[in-house]
Amino acid sequence: MAKGGSFEREISSILSKWWTGGARDDIFYRSSSSGGRFTARYKRGKQTADHHGDICSIDVCGKPLTDTFSIELKTGYSGRRKEKTGKISIINWCVLDILDSRQTLPVLLKMWEQSSRDASRSEKLPLLIFRRPLLSPNITMEERVFLSLGAHFDNVPEKRIAIHTADYSLVVFSLKDFFTWVNGEVFCCLLTEKNIVF
């Protein structure tokens, strides 16, 4: 829990700075119980405004983003393996698990399914930001969102992975590349004025 909470606070600050061109770090923050309150109330047939996903806007200027997207954050999900030498090594999951894992549903797709389900319940688009142990954060979005952003912002990230399954068409790439590619202040204007279609 502490690891996830720390990651949520870190990403909240980074998102806030990106959204405001570096002016503020307090636009977004962890939603109530990391979205747990929304889920619990949803199961009882109730809605909970602005507390879907793991990130909510705590300032009105962030609402265009959280009114459009349900942002899910995931970190960790590694395993440990004891080598013959007795040394413990960390096993990182990766996107290639989709092709050759023995798991029924690989970790990335499990995370995406939760993101997608929660976004659907709140009538938002899913965004998944994840970080594997000791590595940099990445972002996953529906391919249609990626293509729509590409129509508005130049310098589309070249290093990206497209995932096509029977259920999903997704794009995964570095969160750093996302922030370099999509100007937060311009994106805010596009969403506010409804000049972008997903």
- Domain tally for the chain? 1
Whole-angstrom distance, CA of residue 122 vs CA of residue 145: 17
Whether pLDDT at 74 is above 90: yes
Confidence of residue 35 (pLDDT cuts 50, 70, 90): very low
85 three-class SS: coil
Q: What is the pLDDT of residue 113?
A: 96
Q: Is residue 100 part of a domain?
A: yes
Q: Is residue 174 part of a domain?
A: yes
Number of Cβ within a 10 Å radius of residue 126: 25
CB 180 within 8 A of CB 155: yes
Q: Is residue 198 part of a domain?
A: no
Q: What is the pLDDT of residue 198?
A: 94
Q: Is residue 119 part of a domain?
A: yes
CB 165 within 8 A of CB 109: yes
Whether pLDDT at 81 is above 50: yes
Confidence of residue 3 (pLDDT cuts 50, 70, 90): low
What is the full DSSP assignment across 97-161? HHHH-SSSS-HHHHHHHHHHHHHHHTT-EEEEEEE-TTS--EEEEEHHHHHHHHTTSSS--SSEE
Contacts of residue 82, Cβ cutoff 8 Å, sequence gap at least 6: 88
Greatest C-alpha distance within the chain: 60
Question: pLDDT tens, 85-119?
Answer: 877 766 778 888 889 888 888 999 999 999 999 99
Reading the block at residue 189, the tokens are: 């204007």
Radius of gyration of the chain (CA): 17
Q: Domain span at residue 160? A: 2-78+86-192
Q: What is the pLDDT of residue 133?
A: 85
Q: Is residue 141 part of a domain?
A: yes
Q: Is residue 166 part of a domain?
A: yes
Q: Is residue 197 part of a domain?
A: no
At 84, give phi and psi (nearest 5°). Answer: -60, -25
Q: Is residue 180 part of a domain?
A: yes
Distances (CA, A) of 48 to 12, 31, 33, 69: 20, 11, 12, 15
Residue of 107, 124, 108 whose CA lies nearest to 116: 124
